Amino acid sequence: MTRSERRAAASLAAIFGLRMLGMFLILPVFALYAQDLPGGDDHALVGLALGMYGLTQALFMLPFGMASDRWGRKPVIIAGLLLFALGSFVAAAADDIYMVILGRALQGAGAISAAVTALLADLTREEKRTQAMAMVGSTIGLAFALSLAAGPLFYRWIGVPGIFAMTGVLALLAIVVVKFVTPNPGLTVFHSDAQTNPRRLGDVLRDGELLRLDFGIFALHAAQMAMFLIVPLALSDAGGLPADAHWQVYLPVLLGSFVFLVPAVIYGEKYGRMKPVFVSAIGLMFLAQLGFSLFIGHFWAVVATLLAYFVAFNILEATLPSLVSKVAPAEAKGTAMGVYNTAQALGLFFGGAVGGWLAKGWGQSAVFVFCAALIGVWLVLAKGMRPPLRVKTQMFHVGHLEAAAVQQLAARLSVFAGVESVTVLVDEGVVMLKVSQLGWDEEGVKHVLQGGE
């Protein structure tokens, strides 16, 4: 990447990371903190407070993306960060659970993910965009891992109101990054690989393979949110572990889970065994939920089950976006990812709301029976999926082409070894190829694209 592209990718990854850090830091401690709030003894309200972020995120994600097309990326991103900061300060000042719910709703309403992704696409060349997106994805994963370990420590130092206030300050700092560090985009254009196209929604929503993956991310994050309603309480009640010492469980469990992540993903990608790895991880997640339901009152059993959970979670979180990219039509990749991200946000809300309701009426074990049922349905769906093609997407800018030239170019490119599909996006002046990960005739393709015979 060029220096400008690296600066764009790093600054926008930092913005994603700062927002995610604020959201994730409260996960391991919020259920404990809520017990001392008026209304916090109602598990249903605590679950709603945790999950409300996801509902407003899902509702406003697409409108914010469309607004950035019309009014510019940076102004919309700054507006979203201001809304997120406002919600953080409302939650920090809350003196009952209802004000926390309002604050969380405002946080989620600052749904800038689509606008940030579009800006990243504006600031990077087609052939470098995947690399830039990977930087963003790895930052989000790092923020999640860091939050689980650091959340209990921040809880001891500044409490949950302090965490919310810090989140608001981080959002304001992110505005400074957007304004003064992130490069200014040139012409705002639509990018099929990064943005949701409403005209392609019907195609994506009728694709059975994509819907399996959308349900998967929905179930994965519903179970995640429901789990964090109960596990912090279990670590304190069953193990007598103070809330500010929970990092002593989360940190080694997370580090241990990463030991399994890299070999599993490498094995799946290198040997074309991604479906068995993927389905096995879902099976392990199912067993983890059953383990929680049976042993939630036993400290060391909870710790062991947490390790199994995070092994499965990390593998699934790493492979799901890659599978969406492989399965989605090249011209609808951004739309497929938009639906996927919306399903993830709805899962956060559903898991928090339903998990809280079940905990209130039927107890802790019922929450994990619900999670196991969700994951069990996903396991059945995943077993029926087609093994994903071992492909990756390559993009090239070709400029304006006439209709006859488009057909001719597509026909010439499709004959090269390793080229699985060719899509020419006339309006964007881009050729998108799905090529084999085992090797493809890159030199021949580039020769044709440069005008060679």
For 98-156, write each residue's pLDDT tens digit: 999 999 999 999 989 889 988 888 898 777 777 888 788 778 878 888 888 899 999 99
Mean pLDDT, the chain, rounded, equals 90
CA-to-CA distance for 370 and 360, rounded, in angstroms?
Answer: 13
- Residue 13 is given by DSSP the state H
Closest CA to 193 of 392, 5, 16: 392
Task: Find the DSSP H helices in 296-396.
Answer: 299-327, 333-362, 364-383
The tokens describing 95, both together, are 């003196």
25 close to 153: Cβ distance less than 8 angstroms? no
Residue 183 DSSP symbol: P
Inter-residue long-range contacts of 197-206, CB under 8 Å, 24+ positions, other chains counted: 197/332, 197/334, 197/335, 198/62, 200/331, 200/332, 200/335, 201/335, 201/339, 203/329, 203/332, 203/335, 204/328, 204/332, 204/335, 204/336, 204/339, 205/339
List, in order of start, the domains of the chain with CATH numbers: 1-195 (1.20.1250.20), 200-388 (1.20.1250.20), 391-449 (3.30.70.100)
DSSP output for 39-89: TTT-HHHHHHHHHHHHHHHHHHHHHHHHHHHHH-HHHHHHHHHHHHHHHHH
Crossing angle (nearest 10°) for helices 333-362 and 113-123: 150
Look up residue 200 and give its DSSP letter.
G
Return the bridge partners of 377, or none: none
* Tens digit of each residue's pLDDT, the chain (453 residues): 788 888 988 999 888 887 777 778 999 999 999 999 999 999 999 999 999 999 999 999 989 988 988 898 999 999 999 999 999 999 999 999 999 999 999 999 998 988 998 888 889 877 777 788 878 877 887 888 888 889 999 999 999 999 999 999 999 999 999 999 999 887 667 777 778 888 888 989 999 999 999 999 999 999 999 999 999 999 999 888 999 899 999 999 999 998 998 899 889 888 889 999 999 999 999 999 999 999 999 999 999 999 999 999 999 998 998 899 889 888 888 899 999 999 999 999 999 999 999 999 999 999 999 999 999 999 999 999 999 888 888 888 888 777 778 888 888 898 999 998 888 888 788 888 888 888 898 899 888 888 755
For the chain, the residue count is 453
Instruction: Return d(Cα 191, Cα 335) in angstroms, integer.
Output: 10
The one-letter amino acid code at 440 reads W
- CA distance to 66, 252, 259, per residue, from 256 (Å): 41, 6, 5
The partner residues of 419 in beta bridges, in order of sequence, read 435
pLDDT in tens, 158-199: 999 999 999 999 999 999 999 999 998 876 677 777 788 888
